Amino acid sequence: MVNIKYVRSSNASLATKEYAMVALFIGGTSGTGKGTLRQLAKHAKAPKIYIVGRSQRSATPLLDELKSLNPQGTFVFLETEISLIRNVDKICSKIARQEKKMDLIVMSTGYLTFAGRQETDEGIDALAALSYYIRMRAVHNLLPLLNASPSPRVMSILAGGGEGAIDLADLENRQKHSVLTAAVSVATQNTLALEVLAAANPGITFAHVYPGFVATGQMNRFMLTASGIWAWPAWLVEKTIVPLVYLFAQSLDGIGERLLFIATSARYPPAEPKGEGFMVAMPKGVEVAKSSIEEGGKGNGMYRLDNYGESAPDSAVMADYRKKEAGKTVWEGTEAVWARALKKAT
The CB-based long-range contact list for 211-214 (8 Å cut-off, 24+ gap) reads 211/32, 211/157, 211/250, 211/255, 211/259, 211/307, 212/249, 212/250, 212/255, 212/306, 212/307, 213/245, 213/246, 213/248, 213/249, 213/250, 214/31, 214/32, 214/35, 214/249, 214/250, 214/251, 214/252, 214/255
Ordered DSSP codes for 25-37 = EESTTSHHHHHHH
Question: Quick check: pTM over 0.75?
Answer: yes
CB 103 within 8 A of CB 154: no
- pLDDT at site 217: 63
Round to whole Å and give the CA distance between 266 and 281: 5
Round to whole Å and give the CA distance between 326 and 208: 17
- pLDDT at site 297: 84
Going by C-alpha positions, the residue among 262, 278, 257 that lies closest to residue 35 is 257
Weakly modelled stretches of the chain, pLDDT under 50: none
Give the relative orientation of helices 316-323 and 179-200 as an angle to the nearest 10 degrees. 50
- pLDDT at site 79: 96
Round to whole Å and give the CA distance between 8 and 258: 8
The pLDDT tens digits for 272-296 are 999 888 899 988 888 999 999 998 8
CB 187 within 8 A of CB 285: no
- pLDDT at site 9: 94
- pLDDT at site 307: 92
- pLDDT at site 220: 61
Going by C-alpha positions, the residue among 215, 218, 220 that lies closest to residue 251 is 215
- pLDDT at site 236: 73
CB 75 within 8 A of CB 37: no
Burial class (CB in 10 A: 0-12, 13-18, 19+), 148: middle
In order of 11, 100, 140, 142, 288, the CA distances from 149 in angstroms are: 20, 9, 15, 11, 21
- pLDDT at site 296: 86
Count, in order, helices (H) and strands (E) of the chain.
13, 9
